[in-house]
């Protein structure tokens, strides 16, 4: 299962896709991953930073959507305070 989380004032919005089903071309899974990719691009345009997270590993910044990722967190744009 892949997860895209978008942090917001609602906590976080989650979009999931079945990574194994995407590999075998399942239409629903492919549609889900395309939707996640669209949201990823939309958030990036708004200035969000995307990081890939996995248990026991430091977060890794990514600039392109990774359908193989276990979990991607979209961090809203930050500014100096």
Partner 1 sequence: MNSLSDTLGAVAVTTIILILVGKFVLMLWSWPTLSARMWPWLRMQKWWPVPAERTAEMLLHDQLTPVQYHQLCDSGYLDLSSALHPGRTYRIPRGPGQVLVIEHDRVSERLCVQPASGGLPEADVVLIHKLLIEADEDGYLHTANHFPRSIWH
User: Does 61 help bind partner 1 (rule: CB under 8 A)?
Assistant: yes
Q: Would you put residue 47 in left (φ > 0), alpha (ψ -120 to 50) or beta?
A: left
Site string for partner 1, 5-34 (x = CB under 8 A): x-xxxxxx----------------------
User: Does 45 help bind partner 1 (rule: CB under 8 A)?
Assistant: no
| CB distance 72 to 5 below 8 Å | yes
Closest CA to 13 of 65, 60, 58, 72: 72
Scanning 23-31, 32-40, 53-61 for contacts with partner 1 by CB under 8 A, the matching segment is: 53-61
Euclidean distance between CA atoms 70 and 35, whole angstroms = 16
Residues within the interface to partner 1 (CB under 8 A)? 5, 7-12, 47, 49, 51, 53, 58-61, 73, 75-81
């Amino acid at each position: 299962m892949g997860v895209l989380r978008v942090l917001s004032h609602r906590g976080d919005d989650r979009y999931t896709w079945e990574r194994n089903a995407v590999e075998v071309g399942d239409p629903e899974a492919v549609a889900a991953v395309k939707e996640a990719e669209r949201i990823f691009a939309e958030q990036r345009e708004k200035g969000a930073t995307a990081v890939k997270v996995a248990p026991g590993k430091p977060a890794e910044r990514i600039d392109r959507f990774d359908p193989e990722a276990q979990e991607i967190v979209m961090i809203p744009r930050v500014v100096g305070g």
